[in-house]
Amino acid sequence: MLQDDGSSSVTSSSPLQIFPIMSSLSPNFGSSNQWLKELKTEERGLYLIHLLLACANHVASGSLENANIALDHISQLASPNGDTMQRIASYFTEALADRILRSWPGLYKALRSTKLSVVSEDILVRKMFFEFFPFLKVAFVVTNQAIIEAMEGEKMVHIVDLNAAEPLQWRALLQDLSARPEGPPHLRITGVHQQKEVLDQMARVLTEEAEKLDIPFQFNQVVSNFENLDVEKLCVKTGEALAISSVMQLHTLLGHDNEKKSPLTFKHSKDIVKGYSPGNDTASSSPLCSTGSAKMDSFLNALWGLSPKVMVVTEQDSNHNGTTLMERLLESLHFYAALFDCLESTLPRTSLERLKVEKMLLGEEIKNIIACEGIERKERHEKLEKWFQRFNTSGFRNVPLSYYAMLQARRLLQSYSCEGYKIKEENGCVVICWQDRALFSVSSWRCRK
């Protein structure tokens, strides 16, 4: 239910489950809007969900006129500075509007022609995500423990970080390795990132730490977009014990099986069949609907060929890769409402840092899930069971995370003042939750020879 302070607890009693009750309460979109302003917090939250789903239905069916009316109603209730539902509704509204605009390429390009993309801002907002949420910290602790256990007794260790953005993870690992009873190994880390300045900073921090701890260390940079990464550039050498870390990267490969955009067509509302149902959503569908993925299979097979002793994977644990717009909207409403709730419990509503994370990171992810199709849709998050299928098919077997890794994860979450964060074990993997909503999973794998 929506709480008194306007936040939304995404549990079994979530307003998203209550939505079917609302479907019969649809008011005449053309009537007076005064009653909207008189809604109580909980009523407003429920009605925003109702409007968002109705709007998405119109967008999916191509009814521009009705979609426009619904967007106008939502704009009177939503606010990027309001409670959880008001804030999240703002970004889903923007995403739906963006999807409509993409059907007019000339107009869309003209409106975006002067948009600035500041790399330093993007780096900063991702650091804020690391700071404000415990998810990556938990993932790093679990990943490091899995690597330490897999590398016991090894003298030459090579770690490949497929998303080398945060040096604190490997700095902690250096400290742990320096305390090994048999002494530290010779450590080589290969960092992959599309921005060289990020890798330069990581190299500087880790080299200084290794010198302080007197650990033989080398840092290799691979400046590359993850989706275009040439595995041969990782330069894995014979005799090295290899570990691979992938943090929220693999899902981006799932869009490569369909590189064509799915065109959207819009019609006047009078041309829409009144009995339209979300199941008929073809304009918004992406043909990619099965577990199989040629690009993913090829990449995992290439990694398998490197014979890693361990590969630790962190991914968003939600199905945002549905074939229809309505599927993705419902799933992502649950997921991002939980993330916005986390921020509601952590930062004041007036916080500029909170606004930046919501707009520049979470809002952009929402937009990508809702507005984009084909190769442009990168945020194709999937559930843990799908990753099990993919890794098993590619010759990997799951390595259950140790009791000590689970214990470290739980202790880290307990250090947070907020009680909403939870850890659960699923098939030997760590799943990080907000209340009862699974948000991120961490799983460990090794080659099955």
pLDDT of residue 441: 98
Stretch 389-397: mean pLDDT, rounded?
94
Given this model, what pLDDT does residue 292 score?
61
H helices present in 23-152, as ranges: 34-37, 41-61, 64-77, 84-101, 105-112, 119-132, 135-150
Q: Are 244 and 299 in contact (CB under 8 A)?
A: no
Length of the chain: 449
Q: What is the pLDDT of residue 397?
A: 96
Q: Are 423 and 406 in contact (CB under 8 A)?
A: yes
Residue 24 pLDDT greater than 60, yes or no = no
| pTM attached to this predicted model | 0.85
Could you tell me which residues come within 8 angstroms of residue 246 by beta carbon, excluding any fewer than 6 positions away? 162, 163, 311, 312, 313, 314
Phi, psi for residue 6 in degrees, rounded to 5: 95, -5
Cβ neighbors of 80 (< 8 A, separation 6 or more) are 86, 87, 90, 91, 355, 358, 359
Give the number of other CB atoms < 10 A from CB of residue 225. Answer: 10
203-212, 250-259, 440-449: which range is least confident on average?
Answer: 250-259
| Helix (H/G/I), strand (E/B), else coil: 347 | coil
- Inter-residue contact 310 to 445 (CB < 8 Å): yes
72-76, 139-143, 303-307, range with the lowest pLDDT: 72-76
Which pair of structure tokens corresponds to residue 148? 């330490």
- Mean pLDDT across 305-316: 97
Q: Sign of dihedral through CA atoms 336, 339, 345, 346? A: negative
**SS3 state of residue 317:** strand
CB 324 within 8 A of CB 330: no
d(CA 288, CA 221): 33
- Looking at per-residue pLDDT, the higher value among 388 and 114 belongs to 388
How many beta carbons lie within 10 A of that of residue 301, not counting itself? 13
Token pair listed for 55: 């709007």
Condensed to tens digits (0 to 9), the pLDDT of residues 222-271 reads 999 998 999 999 999 999 999 999 999 999 999 876 554 444 544 433 33
Write phi, then psi, for 442 (nearest 5 degrees): -125, 120
Return the pLDDT at 351.
95
The phi, psi pair for 381, rounded to 5°, reads: -65, 145
Instruction: Please report how many Cα atoms fall inside a 13 Å half-sphere around the Cα of residue 160, on the Cβ side.
Output: 26
pLDDT confidence bin for 113, thresholds 50/70/90: confident
Specify the pLDDT at position 7: 45
CA distances from 338 to 10, 112, 164, 439, 447 (A): 6, 30, 26, 8, 35
Closest CA to 231 of 305, 320, 154: 305
Mean confidence (pLDDT) of the chain: 85
Phi-psi region of 346 (alpha: psi -120 to 50; beta: other; left: phi over 0): alpha
* Paired sense of beta strands 429-434 and 437-447, if any: antiparallel
Q: Is the pLDDT score of 64 beyond 70?
A: yes
pLDDT at 23: 39
4 vs 137, higher pLDDT = 137
What is the tens place of the pLDDT at every residue in 339-356?
A: 999 999 999 999 999 999
Which tokens in the block code for residue 137? 């910290």
Least trusted range by pLDDT, from 202-206, 284-288, 365-369, 425-429: 284-288
- At residue 131, what is the residue type? E
Model confidence at 157: pLDDT above 90: yes
Cα 347 from chain centroid? 20
Pairwise CA distance, residues 239 & 156, whole Å: 7
Burial class (CB in 10 A: 0-12, 13-18, 19+), 237: exposed
Mean of the pLDDT values across residues 314-337?
95
Which CA distances in Å does 237 have to 240, 265, 394? 6, 52, 22
- How far is 361 from 364, CA to CA, in rounded Å? 5
- pLDDT of the residue at 448: 84
> Shortest CA distance to 444 belongs to which of 372, 379, 376, 388?
388
Q: Give the model's pLDDT for residue 263.
A: 44
Q: Which two tokens stand for residue 10?
A: 């995404």
Residue with structure tokens 């460990």? 444
